[in-house]
Chains A and B, each alone.
Chain A
Amino acid sequence: MKIVGVTACPTGIAHTYMAAEKITEEATKRGFEVKIETRGSVGIENQLTAEEIRAADVVVLGVGVSVDKSMFSGKKIVEASVADVIHNTDKVIDLAVAAAADTNYPLYEEKQDDGNRQLKTEADTFLNLLKKIPKHLMTGVSYMIPFVAAGGIMIAISFMFGIEASGVEGSLPYYLNTIGGIAFSVMIPIMAAFIAYSMADRPGIAPGMVAGLIVTQLDPSPGFLGGIIGGLLAGMAAWAIKKLKMPKALAGLMPVLIIPLFSTFLVGILMYFVIAPPCAALQAAMTGWLTNMSNGSGILLGAVIGAMLAFDLGGPVNKVAYMFGVGLLAEGIFEPQAASMASGMVPSLAMALATLLNKDLYTPAERESGKTAWLLGASFIAEGAIPFAGADPLRVIPSLMVGSAVAGGMAMAFHLTLQAPHGGIFVMGLVNKPLLFLLCTAVGTVISALLVNFLKGIKYRKGQSK
């Protein structure tokens, strides 16, 4: 016989626990399996899982307040007051035994009009872990945002001194650029670490951080998309290893040794052998493809450069497009670089504009990131869009690709040229037609911003009408 139950009282300080202890004691005395969840002021403890509820013969509720019973749908419930549970424990257990044996005992059914189903406590299953991926990404991104802001702004300021200024060792622009670059370099490790943290709590941090660091050290780097994958893999690994049943003697070593050791090694190996090769292959294929394309239509080439830059915002595809433009500078071909710069400014600017156009679609933290994204976008730092793309890749990335492609295509159509490898609006003076250049970026920005808000709006309205 298996009994599960919940105890809760109005203040949740003493009686909740007294009742739980009494049921457990009485049921154990009779040789039953028992698990009682306590909902007190400390929060929910000893939480029942869906599996345990399914396996139970009967549910005992010792409650003095109304509790959400939706998780007990289809079970036999014996409900008693907290006082009865404490003082007449044997009678309550007798009732539970009778209910379990009685084939005609009514099964609990959730009322159809019970609108608040959101409150259901979710079991700690792998499926639920995956279902909450959007939440995990959000968590990862929220910890990453300060690094993007600090690093991006310092790099942008260093450009203001002139695009070559940071090359002078010991100068202020040099330090701004260097410190900013270091802040940028931990952006992806931090995101990966906290994605994994969201999934597996503290044990996720070590494998997540290491997976993110591997991403930054691989050549070609899998970029922020690689960081997301690494974080998710690390979270899953830590979550799964945490679930393993260990003999008592080893249980103490789990959090400090076993989980970090095995999850980090496992995820690290996966990064090198499963994530890295396709990235390298993709980069090689893209390079070949782009080179072939440069013989064809200029407008299409510009559009492809733009779309590639926006696809992974600093990842392998982005790097191919960027290096393609910079590489051609050496050959005296300046048009693709102009297309690259005009379109590369779009992602950050578009997200900055999007947060301004419809505040409801963004969290307060995202709206703040939107403000710094103006400066990052203007400085040709596409990473300003990563917090948005990381939190909602499926809507954000396609929107950014469309706007960037338009900007890149337009730049080629206008035969814009640029000879500087980096710098955004700070190298405007080097563009042959600065006003048209700004127009290209502005059009792309507006298109991306409207598109991303449209896509997010669909999801938002769905959530509202529920």
Chain B
Amino acid sequence: MIRDMLKPEYIFIGQKPASHTLADALALISERCSPYAGVKATALTKAFLAREKMGSTGFGEQLAIPHAKVRKLKQPMIALFRFTEGVDWNAMDGQPVKLAIALVMPKEDKDNTHLTILAKLSRRLVHPEFMEALLSAETEEALYKYIIEEMEENK
């Protein structure tokens, strides 16, 4: 269920990494996710960077979807980060990234339900009005409520 993977406390708006670089942004994301995922922040950063090396997850339109696959994860998580200033993500359109949807997933793939949820979320992300809402929601609670409503609707 989406509610198991995405919780109100996983939404972070007004985030300010140490610098505009991708490395610092990922370090911040890792640090925030670490306590909930039960995985060391340094391990998370390494996993995120490994995926970026295969090709940037900065997919343009100010959005990035960094993924980390880690061992022995209890619960896959989706975390949402909105940065106060754009991060230089080597995005495909060269634009800075304002919004990152970070995915922390188990390396051992026992259960596919989280992938199905991600597939559904991904399909929503290409709709401009969905992105617009994610970028403009004023509070973390509002943002959370919007995503859950969109995801639980049968679209």
Known contacts: A64-B55, A83-B59, A86-B59. The answer to whether A14 contacts B112 by CB under 8 A is no
* Across-interface contacts of A16 in B (CB, < 8 A): 119, 122
Report the bound CA distance from A83 to B112 in whole Å.
Answer: 25
Asked whether A18 lies within 8 Å of B51 as measured between CB atoms, the reply is no
Known contacts: A13-B67, A14-B65, A40-B115. The answer to whether A87 contacts B93 by CB under 8 A is yes
Known contacts: A11-B51, A13-B67, A21-B126. The answer to whether A87 contacts B92 by CB under 8 A is yes
* Across-interface contacts of A86 in B (CB, < 8 A): 59-60, 126
Report the bound CA distance from A21 to B131 in whole Å.
Answer: 14
Shortest C-beta distance, B53 to chain A (Å), equals 11
Known contacts: A11-B67, A42-B116. The answer to whether A18 contacts B125 by CB under 8 A is yes
With a 10 A CB-CB cut-off, give which of B55, B61, B112, B121 has the most chain A CB atoms. B55
Shortest C-beta distance, A354 to chain B (Å), equals 38
Within 8 A of B (CB), among A1-55: 10-11, 13-18, 20-22, 25, 38, 40-43, 45
* Across-interface contacts of A38 in B (CB, < 8 A): 119
Report the bound CA distance from A227 to B124 in whole Å.
Answer: 49
Asked whether B60 lies within 8 Å of A42 as measured between CB atoms, the reply is no
* Across-interface contacts of A11 in B (CB, < 8 A): 51, 54, 67
- Does B44 sit at the interface, judged by CB under 8 A? no
A23 closest partner in B (C-beta) = B126
- Does B103 sit at the interface, judged by CB under 8 A? yes
Report the bound CA distance from A219 to B123 in whole Å.
Answer: 58
* Across-interface contacts of A20 in B (CB, < 8 A): 123
Report the bound CA distance from A189 to B6 in whole Å.
Answer: 46
Report the bound CA distance from A64 to B109 in whole Å.
Answer: 22
A11 closest partner in B (C-beta) = B67
B92 in complex: contacting residue of A13, A40, A83, CB < 8 Å: A83
Interface size of B as a range: 20 to 34
- Does B118 sit at the interface, judged by CB under 8 A? yes
Report the bound CA distance from A18 to B103 in whole Å.
Answer: 15
Asked whether A18 lies within 8 Å of B122 as measured between CB atoms, the reply is yes
Shortest C-beta distance, B103 to chain A (Å), equals 7
Known contacts: A18-B125, A22-B126, A87-B60. The answer to whether A42 contacts B119 by CB under 8 A is yes
Asked whether A14 lies within 8 Å of B51 as measured between CB atoms, the reply is no
Contacts A10-B55, A14-B122 supplied; 17 other A-B pairs, CB < 8 Å: A13-B67, A13-B103, A14-B103, A15-B65, A15-B122, A17-B122, A17-B123, A22-B126, A25-B127, A40-B115, A40-B119, A42-B116, A83-B60, A83-B92, A86-B126, A87-B60, A87-B93
With a 10 A CB-CB cut-off, give which of B60, B92, B121, B126 has the most chain A CB atoms. B126
Report the bound CA distance from A154 to B153 in whole Å.
Answer: 55
Q: List 10 A-B contacts (CB under 8 A).
A: A13-B122, A14-B122, A15-B65, A18-B122, A25-B127, A41-B109, A42-B115, A42-B116, A64-B55, A87-B61
Within 8 A of A (CB), among B73-120: 92-93, 103, 105, 109, 112, 115-116, 118-120
Report the bound CA distance from A22 to B130 in whole Å.
Answer: 14
* Across-interface contacts of A22 in B (CB, < 8 A): 126
SS class, residues of chain B in contact with chain A: mixed
* Across-interface contacts of A17 in B (CB, < 8 A): 118-120, 122-123
Report the bound CA distance from A42 to B109 in whole Å.
Answer: 10
Shortest C-beta distance, A27 to chain B (Å), equals 13
B122 in complex: contacting residue of A21, A25, A45, CB < 8 Å: A21
Within 8 A of B (CB), among A46-72: 64
Report the bound CA distance from A402 to B112 in whole Å.
Answer: 51
Asked whether B55 lies within 8 Å of A25 as measured between CB atoms, the reply is no
Report the bound CA distance from A38 to B118 in whole Å.
Answer: 13
Report the bound CA distance from A31 to B105 in whole Å.
Answer: 38
* Across-interface contacts of B119 in A (CB, < 8 A): 13-14, 16-17, 38, 40, 42, 45
Report the bound CA distance from A22 to B61 in whole Å.
Answer: 14
Report the bound CA distance from A10 to B93 in whole Å.
Answer: 19
B61 closest partner in A (C-beta) = A87
A19 closest partner in B (C-beta) = B126
* Across-interface contacts of B67 in A (CB, < 8 A): 11, 13-14
Known contacts: A10-B54, A13-B103. The answer to whether A18 contacts B126 by CB under 8 A is yes
B123 in complex: contacting residue of A21, A64, A83, CB < 8 Å: A21
Known contacts: A42-B112, A83-B92. The answer to whether A14 contacts B118 by CB under 8 A is yes
Shortest C-beta distance, A170 to chain B (Å), equals 48
Shortest C-beta distance, B119 to chain A (Å), equals 4
Asked whether A15 lies within 8 Å of B112 as measured between CB atoms, the reply is no
Leading 6 A-B pairs by shortest Cβ distance: A17-B122, A21-B123, A14-B122, A17-B119, A42-B115, A18-B122
B115 in complex: contacting residue of A10, A13, A15, A18, CB < 8 Å: A13
Shortest C-beta distance, A461 to chain B (Å), equals 37
* Across-interface contacts of A64 in B (CB, < 8 A): 55
* Across-interface contacts of A41 in B (CB, < 8 A): 109, 112, 115
Shortest C-beta distance, B47 to chain A (Å), equals 12
Report the bound CA distance from A86 to B118 in whole Å.
Answer: 17
With a 10 A CB-CB cut-off, give which of A20, A38, A42 has the most chain B CB atoms. A42
